[in-house]
Amino acid sequence: MDLGIKGKRALVTGGSGGMGIETIKRFIEAGVTVTATDLKDEDLEPLRKEFGIECIAGDLSSKSGVDDFIAKAGTDFDIWVHAAGVTGDKGDPLTMSEEAWEDALNIDFMSGVRMARHLCPPMIDRGWGRVVFVTSENVAQPYPEETVYNSAKSALLSHAKSIAMAHSDKGLLVNCIAPAFIETPMTDGMMEKRKEEKGCSFDEAVESFLEEERPYLVMKRRGKVEEVAPVIVFLCSELSSFVTGSNWRIDGGAVGSINV
């Protein structure tokens, strides 16, 4: 299938994560030139070796970090996938520390805001651009112990919608995806911690998590990055030319409400 993006240039943040790697692979298959970024250069080295792409390490959790990254990478991108993020600290919503809030908001929300200031205007000037922000099931179904993550990702969704409403008529299409419980290093870490807390096997930790914490995830398994990346690439393609301001759930049914 011709996605109509051969020869385009894409930036993928959070590029060394599971979803980032699979998205990069799909872009390359579609003829897209990809630049990847993540926090640590050593995490990007496997991407250089496997795909031969440009990789630039950067700390996107502060304005100065974003400015430094843009100085190195430039803004000549047609496509931007923002997969950078962390789950953040967990606990009672009323007792989360100032540091926990600042960390989650800076990484999960403000990194997107700051990057958009640099990357979106050139797309608007060229009359063509695609942006996909990775949000979460939590934007539609928040979990109380994950309040800092809930809030940061919800803010990101709202900001994405605002950009789409303001600029889609100029050729900039902005959408989000909302994955749930995907097989990535991040959820591996969650399950390793659960395994230790419950004194059980990894598989038992996953099963108990699904049973106790995600009762609406009717697929009864973790999702795969191979089930997420095609949606991202579709939203970045010419095939999605009438899609903007949306939030696509890739959650195995984890959100119990109707998406209207």
pLDDT at residue number 24: 98
Verify that 169 and 218 share a domain, yes or no: no
Verify that 193 and 231 share a domain, yes or no: no
- The percent of the chain in helix, strand and coil, each rounded to the nearest 5, is 50, 15, 35
Classify residue 171 as left (phi > 0), alpha (psi -120 to 50) or beta.
left
Residue 1 within any structural domain of the chain: no
User: Do 63 and 113 contact (CB within 8 A), yes or no?
Assistant: no
- Kind plus residue range of the DSSP H or E element containing 248: strand 247-250
Helices (H) and strands (E) in the chain, counts: 9, 7
Verify that 203 and 227 share a domain, yes or no: no
Verify that 17 and 53 share a domain, yes or no: yes
Sheet strand arrangement including 9-13: 54-55, 33-37, 9-13, 79-82, 129-134, 172-179, 247-250
pLDDT at residue number 185: 86
Verify that 198 and 244 share a domain, yes or no: no
Q: In which domain, by residue range, is 96 found?
A: 9-182+223-250
User: Do 225 and 182 contact (CB within 8 A), yes or no?
Assistant: yes
Residue 258 within any structural domain of the chain: no
Q: What is the reported pTM?
A: 0.95
Verify that 207 and 99 share a domain, yes or no: no
Local structure of 12: helix, strand or coil: strand
Verify that 152 and 207 share a domain, yes or no: no
Number of domains in the chain: 2
Amino acid in position 99:
E
How far apart (Å, rounded) are the C-alpha atoms in residues 256 and 44? 37
Residue 259 within any structural domain of the chain: no
Residue 97 within any structural domain of the chain: yes
Residue 256 within any structural domain of the chain: no
Verify that 143 and 56 share a domain, yes or no: yes
User: Do 236 and 81 contact (CB within 8 A), yes or no?
Assistant: yes
Verify that 218 and 93 share a domain, yes or no: no
Verify that 28 and 75 share a domain, yes or no: yes
Q: What is the pLDDT along the chain (260 residues), one digit of tens a residue?
A: 899 999 999 999 999 999 999 999 999 999 999 999 999 999 999 999 999 999 999 999 999 999 999 999 999 999 999 999 998 999 999 999 999 999 999 999 999 999 999 999 999 999 999 999 999 999 999 999 999 999 999 999 999 999 999 999 999 999 999 999 999 888 999 999 999 999 999 999 999 999 999 999 999 999 999 999 999 999 999 999 999 999 999 999 999 888 75
User: Do 246 and 175 contact (CB within 8 A), yes or no?
Assistant: yes
Verify that 103 and 26 share a domain, yes or no: yes
Which CATH number does the domain housing residue 14 bear?
3.40.50.720
Verify that 109 and 218 share a domain, yes or no: no
Q: Residue 80 corresponds to which tokens in the numbers above?
A: 């931007």
Own/partner long-range contacts of 185-192 (Cβ < 8 Å, ≥24 apart): 185/17, 185/18, 186/17, 186/18, 186/86, 186/87, 187/222, 190/87
Residue 2 within any structural domain of the chain: no
